[in-house]
Amino acid sequence: MKTNKLFIGIDVAFAKNKKLPICVARKKGEQLLPVLLEGTGLPPTPRGSGNVASLQPGTVSKFARDVAAYLGAVETTLEAKIEVIAIDAPADYSLDGRRKGERDLNANGISCFATPTTTRFKEIKKKVRSHLREGGAENRLPHANQLWMLVGFALFRELEQRYRCLEVFPQAIVHRLGASAVHKFQKKGFEMQLEAVARASGWTPVALADKLQKCVSGAGHDKLDAYMCAWVASLYPDLDVYGEAPDDAIWVPKVN
């Protein structure tokens, strides 16, 4: 029987040929330890197919199934059980134009892109296809900052069949930790976030950065986002939410 517990963080990304940033972690006391998976014989990390492909339900569904299969292989290889998965993406379409979790974020000074309704997403898809028919460039797609949400929806649908999945938002996490004043794409902002997350999860910033470099795919901010997702997963159920659990909840750590 599997008693070794794993906590998973996924920073949803679907850029063409980009490895999905996934952090697989274990708890050791108060410290969260990312697991080094290289050399364990796992199948390749699933890769994205690009924003245009996000309009193809079959492609997106296959990607979600590939992620589920990959995580199943992680459990088998590590002889462990995944307890909770935290995913940096909306869990589902908005029902009425703006979800309560997103409204609560905004009310607390945390900005985020609105999750469209199914009707609005049909309009977005139509606009994107029109852009492509007219010769528009793929790197200038309208609503590119929302198309990736379709991948998030598919991941939740697939993974929730087997695992407990939480919706998280890294910007809300670092806001809780008092490290959101400078954007993570700026060197100072990234360093502030790394320091805060490292301190909260039992590391020094240097040691955590070194560990993530070896254990998680993606750029530095992708690695950190995936890790902080896994960290929140490891704290469940002792968490706070923006919105209303269980169906419209964005989970964040409690702070003293």
198 within some domain: yes
- Pick the closest to residue 208 from 218, 197, 217 (CA basis): 197
Q: What distance in Å separates the CA atoms of residue 241 and residue 252, rounded to the nearest whole number?
A: 6
Kindly report, residue by residue over 140-174, the tens digit of the pLDDT: 999 999 999 999 999 999 999 999 999 999 999 99
Assigned domain for 106 exists? yes
Number of domains in the chain: 1
Rounded Cα distance between 55 and 122, Å, is 10
Domain interval for residue 86: 5-246
| Cβ(8)–Cβ(34) below 8 Å | no
Across 74-113, b (16+ Cβ under 10 Å) vs e yields bbeebebebebbbbbbbbbbbeeeebbbbebbeeeebebe
pLDDT at 3 (0 to 100): 56
Residue 27 placed within a domain:
yes
Other Cβ atoms less than 10 A from the Cβ of 247: the count is: 13
Distance CA 206, CA 2 (A): 32
Q: Of all helices (H) and strands (E), which one includes residue 23?
A: strand 22-28
Residue 252: inside a domain, yes or no? no
What are the structure tokens assigned to 102, written together? Answer: 């997103």
Distance in angstroms (rounded) separating the CA atoms of residues 33 and 31: 6
Q: Considering the domain boundaries, does residue 142 fall inside one?
A: yes
In a domain, 197, yes or no: yes
Sheet with strand 164-167: strands edge to edge: 31-34, 22-28, 5-11, 81-88, 164-167
Q: Is residue 254 situated within a structural domain?
A: no
In a domain, residue 160? The reply is: yes
What does the alpha-carbon distance between residue 228 and residue 225 come to, in Å, rounded to a whole number? Answer: 5
Predicted structure pTM score: 0.95
Taking 50 as the pLDDT cut, the residues of the chain under it are: 1-2
